[in-house]
Amino acid sequence: MVEANHMNSEEKCCTINSERKSHHSPEVKKNLTSRLNRIEGQIRGIKGLIEKDTYCDDVITQIAAAQSALNSVSKILLEGHLKHCIVERVQDGDEEVVDELLTTIKRLMK
């Protein structure tokens, strides 16, 4: 995953004017948006299955597929966060970011 970094010298990777922001390239944003749109469709489909009294196991299978798709989005976001935000903040001497990262990973592993 390659991301362009188009920021001036006063802007940090994840902090712009002291506000925390992401910094995804247009390609990554498009990829994430496309994935989330598909997941949104999956969720609507699951709702429809429930409304049609579809067999529980079939619904659970679709829920598992949606969860897997969300996990894929999380992995893409986490990779970018590690490669850019975390590295930059550690290089700047902010070691507290490691605790933040550990909390994030624990949340993802629930």
- Provide the pLDDT for residue 50: 98
The greatest distance separating any two alpha carbons of the chain, rounded to the nearest whole angstrom, comes to 57
Assigned token pair, 44? 């609507």
pLDDT at 68: 97
User: How far is it, in rounded angstroms, from Cα 101 to Cα 8?
Assistant: 26
Distance set, CA 46 to CA 53, 57, 74, 103, 106 (Å): 11, 12, 21, 30, 27
**Domains in the chain, start-ordered, CATH in brackets?**
25-108 (1.20.58.1000)
Q: What is the pLDDT of residue 7?
A: 42
Please tell me the distance from the alpha carbon of residue 8 to that of residue 29, in angstroms, as a whole number: 21
The owner of tokens 């990779």 is 79
6 φ, ψ (degrees, to nearest 5): -115, 65
* Confidence (pLDDT) at 23: 78
Lookup: tokens for 24: 């995804």
pLDDT by position in tens, the chain (length 110): 444 444 443 445 666 556 778 778 899 999 999 999 999 999 999 999 999 999 999 999 999 999 999 999 999 999 999 999 899 999 999 999 999 999 999 999 98
